[in-house]
């Protein structure tokens, strides 16, 4: 029984040292990724920079909530190596921007030293195992990011499509008015309204198409790769690379938009007026 207990403790200790070492590397990588994203957003537009800053603030608040656990003795009594490594990753990722994260990392270091005899700066973990843990965590985070991005793109595309449909209905109602209104000025005003709404519908659909294309295409590509026997981790890495490149919509989708526009030609205002006048 004693031998079994010793084996469990040794396994826990080994996993903990790997998790702690990997956490430091992952946390530093997250800091660099956040800084790179902020620089890119600043170059692209002030609005994107503000949106990214707001997102980072929300993530920082969530990190503070997560790190609150490291001050509780009952959390340490139950924490797994993965949970401890995750907390250290979070603390390291935000330490350069938040004093609360710095304090939390100090508490984690103290607990690791007193409870397990682990020095964060010198864990003695197997380098190969640490590298494998780092790569696995990076793939997991990339996969989570990809799923969140796809869901966001789908939601944005659906919302834009609904706006386009509403503009279509408004344009059609205005066309009906342009055909039937007894007053010539009212007919012309209705026709101009129809043209404006039709243009808004087409412009809105143009915004939605790349979002639909991006999310759906990546899902199809992932399925094809998996069917060919490509490993899940390799598929995740491929999809993450595709996200970073932000490829535009396919030519097939663009052609579909052109066909849709041709199917709803705008009738000349003069012909509408003439036809209505003759009908009277």
H, E, C per residue of the chain: CHHHHHHHHHHHHHHHHHHHHHHHHHHHHHHHHHHHHHHHHHHHCHHHHHHHHHHHHHHHHHHHHHHHHHHCHHHHHHCCHHHHHHHHHHHHHHCCCCHHHHHHHHHHHHHHHHHHCCECCECCCCHHHHHHHHHHHHHHHHHHHHHHHHHHHHHHHHHHHHHHHHHHHHHHHHHHHHHHCCCHHHHHHHHHHHHHHHHHHHHHHHHHHHHHHHHHHHHHHHHHHHHCCCCHHHHHHHHHHHHHHCCCCCHHHHHHHHHHHHCCCCCCHHHHHHHHHHHC
What pLDDT score was predicted for residue 279?
42
Dist CA 205 CA 202 (whole Å): 5
Say yes or no to pLDDT of 265 above 80.
no
Of residues 63 and 267, the one with the higher pLDDT is 63
What would the pLDDT profile of 29-80 be if each residue is shown by its tens digit?
A: 888 888 888 888 877 778 888 888 888 899 999 999 999 999 999 999 998 8
Average pLDDT of the chain to the nearest whole number: 75
What pLDDT score was predicted for residue 160?
82
Question: Averaged over 211-226, what is the pLDDT?
Answer: 62
Cβ neighbours around 240 below 10 Å, total: 18
Identify which of 158, 148, 15 has the alpha carbon closest to the alpha carbon of residue 81.
Answer: 15
Dist CA 84 CA 208 (whole Å): 42
Say yes or no to pLDDT of 122 above 90.
no
Say yes or no to pLDDT of 260 above 50.
no
Angle separating helix axes 269-279 and 127-180, nearest 10 degrees: 40
Q: What is the pTM of this model?
A: 0.50
Confidence of residue 27 (pLDDT cuts 50, 70, 90): confident
Largest CA distance in the chain: 103
What pLDDT score was predicted for residue 253?
35
Say yes or no to pLDDT of 110 above 80.
yes
């Amino acid at each position: 029984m004693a031998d079994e207990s010793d084996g469990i403790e040794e396994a826990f200790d080994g996993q903990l040292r790997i998790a702690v070492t990997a956490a430091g590397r992952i946390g530093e990588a997250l800091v660099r990724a956040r800084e790179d994203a902020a620089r890119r957003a600043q170059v692209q537009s002030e609005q994107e920079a503000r949106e990214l800053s707001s997102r980072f603030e929300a993530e920082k608040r969530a990190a503070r909530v997560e790190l609150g656990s490291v001050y509780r003795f009952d959390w340490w009594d139950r924490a797994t190596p993965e949970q401890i490594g995750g907390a250290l990753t979070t603390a390291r990722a935000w330490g350069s921007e938040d004093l609360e994260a710095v304090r939390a990392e100090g508490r984690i270091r103290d607990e690791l030293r007193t409870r397990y005899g682990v020095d964060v700066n010198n864990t003695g973990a197997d380098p190969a195992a640490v590298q494998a843990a780092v790569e696995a965590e990076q793939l997991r985070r990339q996969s989570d990011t990809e799923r969140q991005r796809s869901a966001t793109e789908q939601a944005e595309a659906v919302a834009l499509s609904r706006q386009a449909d509403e503009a279509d209905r408004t344009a059609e109602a205005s066309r009906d008015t342009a055909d039937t209104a007894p007053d010539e000025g009212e007919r012309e005003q209705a026709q101009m309204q129809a043209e404006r709404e039709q243009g808004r519908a087409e412009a809105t659909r143009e915004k939605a198409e790349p979002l639909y294309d991006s999310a759906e295409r990546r899902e199809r590509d992932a399925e094809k790769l998996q069917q060919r026997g490509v490993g899940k981790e390799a598929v995740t890495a491929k999809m993450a690379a595709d996200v970073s490149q932000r490829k535009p919509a396919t030519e097939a989708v663009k052609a579909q938009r052109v066909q849709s526009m041709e199917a709803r030609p705008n009738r000349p205002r003069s012909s509408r007026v003439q036809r209505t006048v003759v009908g009277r």
